[in-house]
Amino acid sequence: MHLNPYGEDAVKLAADLANRRPASAEELADRCRAAGLVVEGPATPEDLERTAVVLDTWEKVVDTTDEHERAELVNGMLAAAAAYPRMTDHVGSGWHLHYRDEGQPLSGVLFSLIAVGTALHLTGRGVHRLRRCAVTECTTVFADTSRTGRQRYCSPRCANRDAVRRHRARAA
Ligand SMILES: [Zn+2]
Ligand SMILES: [Zn+2]
């Protein structure tokens, strides 16, 4: 893998895959590549299935508001997914860390990437910075990487929608 190894890119990829689940192994591989992941070898239907399980587990992390429970869920993912960190230059474009064993299928890479990336995001930026959009009918997940850490909506569109609604409610 090669996106800024285990920071916000990993959480953003997790959110992207969770918000719009890939329909095929090819789509999964393409979207990982588009996010900057170095995908070695073809993705298989098994990768797609396993990734769906990883994303289901990850959505539980998103939907937990209790921070201790959240940490426990992430720790469970880390225990199952991660190996000791090691330096690698496997694509010849710079040394970085992998938190997994060599030769993992794409789903194994994603599991470790999402677990470690989420842990680093929550410890580095703030444990509350992962949530769903505040608009009730919008279930979009996002990682809050804003300066203030008070992002409530997935997009400006949803923020506007809610502002209009609140305005109407006041006017009525
Ligand atoms: Zn790598
Ligand atoms: Zn939204």
Q: Which CATH superfamily is domain 8-130 in?
A: Jann2411-like domain (1.10.3300.10)
User: Can you tell me the distance from the alpha carbon of 63 to that of 131, in angstroms, rounded to the nearest whole number?
Assistant: 7
Angle at which helices 106-124 and 67-81 pack, to 10 degrees? Answer: 150
Q: What pLDDT score does 41 carry?
A: 83
**46-86 pLDDT per residue, tens:** 999 999 999 999 999 999 989 999 999 999 999 999 789 99
Q: Across all residues in the chain, what is the average pLDDT?
A: 92
Residues with Cβ within 8 Å of 53's Cβ and at least 6 positions away in sequence, in order, are none
Over the stretch 11-46, which tens digit does the pLDDT of each residue have? 999 999 999 999 999 999 999 999 989 888 889 999
Q: Which residues make up the environment of ion ligand 2, defined by Cβ < 5 Å?
A: 133, 135, 138, 140, 154, 158
- pLDDT at position 4 over 60: no
Q: Which ligand is nearest to the CA of 2?
A: 1
% the chain with pLDDT above 70: 96
Q: 35 CA to middle of ligand 1, Å?
A: 13
- How much of the chain is helix, strand and coil, in % rounded to 5? 55, 5, 40
Residues 157-169 have pLDDT tens digits of: 999 999 999 999 8
pTM of the model: 0.91
Structure tokens at 25: 């192994």
Q: In angstroms, what is the span from residue 154 Cα to ligand 2's centroid?
A: 4
Please check the confidence at residue 6 and state whether its pLDDT lies above 80. no
Q: What is the pLDDT of residues 94-115, one digit of tens each?
A: 898 899 988 899 999 999 999 9
Distances (CA, A) of 13 to 84, 92, 95, 148: 22, 23, 21, 22
Mean pLDDT, residues 138-162 = 95
